[in-house]
Amino acid sequence: MTPSFVSTAVDAQRIADLVKSQRRYFSTGETKSLRFRKEKLHALKNAMKQFEQRIHDALYADLRKSPFEAYGTETGFVYLEIDQALDNLERWMRPRPIGTPLFHFPGASAIHPDPYGVALIVAPWNYPFQLLVAPLVGAIAAGNTAVLKPSEYAEQTAAVLEEMIASAFSPEYVAVVNGGPEVSKSLLENRYDYIFFTGGTEVGRFVYQAAAKHLTPVTLELGGKSPCFVDKNVPVEQSAKRIVWGKLLNAGQTCIAPDYLLVHREVKEKLVAALGRQITAAYGSDPQASPDFGRIINARHFERLSAYLRDGKVLFGGRTDAAERYIAPTLLEVTDLDAPVMREEIFGPILPIIEVGDAEEAIEFINARPKPLALYAFSGSDRTLDMFADRTSSGGVCFNDTIMHIANSELPFGGVGDSGIGGYHGKASFETFSHLKPIFKRSNLVDTPLRYAPYNKLGLSTLKRLMKWSL
């Protein structure tokens, strides 16, 4: 199936016209009412239900994603986001009264969530449905229009997304633009009121530069090498099970997958053995035959990942099959910390293991590198976990588990430094796509002469007292 809109050739004028049509539509004010926003959220949910099986089939075709992972990490995840927005939208939209200093009396202050306008949402290929549609939920809830750019690498999912969105919305409100890098470049030449990008750090820099030309605010959901520390005092089998699940979800193609393990030397051998047992328990003695283990997105990424296998000693796994784009779940002992597998985000089912002496050494190791999107630490000591919380910087932290912090919509998800700017999920998505506009309203009943020129010493003295009392 070939996407119909800008899929085989760049049509810069058509993209520009689409953005202009959305800007005109937004200017009518129709997208701002509670009724309209809820109606469109329901329309999105209904379209998803209608297309759900086709979405799952496309995810299998692109990534060989199992039905469980397709629902749990893609469509089911978005259903929860929609339901939370529907349940809370009226409350989120209300003006929020705040305090007003005494020298403003009589007056009142409030913060009004205000939609930005036309939003551009650009998604990657690893969770090609969720990472496009979950931000869209926030954009709709906040009252914006949206131009959506799926990843061309997940071709089947992109095609279904285009058809699904067209079935639910007019293009002047929400539209999908499919195509490759030239289409992305044409999209970024236009002015938007907000840009939401999920992808790699290098492309994120390019998006940021394009946004800067128009001073467009951005959210950048990037990646990085998310570390995982394992202390000597943990339940080894349970910890191994949780690490294996988080690392091998989507065949390791997850931005917050544990990228490498820093393992206390006293538990290293036990943990490696437990990791191997848990991989076998999850995917069998031949993971290639497992219906639950996915495939690498394309040949280029397969070759990139295969090269990492030369950067250390394979302790478990290591088998590859280019014809199927299959790389076995692999445990890799690494001693050369400058090897490519330790410099670049892996984004695959290869888990480097590095021995450390204690938590202090692990923290020093982490802090010597760019700030990651996620940080994991397994320890039976609250003091040790507090050390990681207080002395490291990362987009998010999850203790004694992996990935699960992203599944709590009460927690904003996002990066810091090289791993991103801004956050979303739940209410945070609504606020990401809203300008929190401050409004001050002054009464006409009283107008003290104090602030008007000409000034005098008595006025200054009174002003100082009023400002002090306002603290």
Active site residues: 221, 255
Nearest to 137 by CA among 155, 162, 119: 119
The dihedral formed by the CA atoms of 205, 207, 212 and 215, expressed in degrees to the nearest 10: -140
C-beta of residue 155 within 8 angstroms of C-beta of residue 165: no
Report the distance separating Cα 133 and Cα 52, nearest Å.
13
Q: Which residues contact 363 (CB under 8 A, 6 or more apart)?
A: 387, 388, 391, 392
Report the distance separating Cα 336 and Cα 382, nearest Å.
31
CA atoms within 13 A on the CB side of 75: 26
Instruction: Note the helical H segments in 1-33.
Output: 12-27
423 vs 134, 185, 221, CA distance in Å? Answer: 12, 24, 8
Instruction: Note the helical H segments in 94-175.
Output: 130-142, 155-168
Report the distance separating Cα 205 and Cα 213, nearest Å.
13
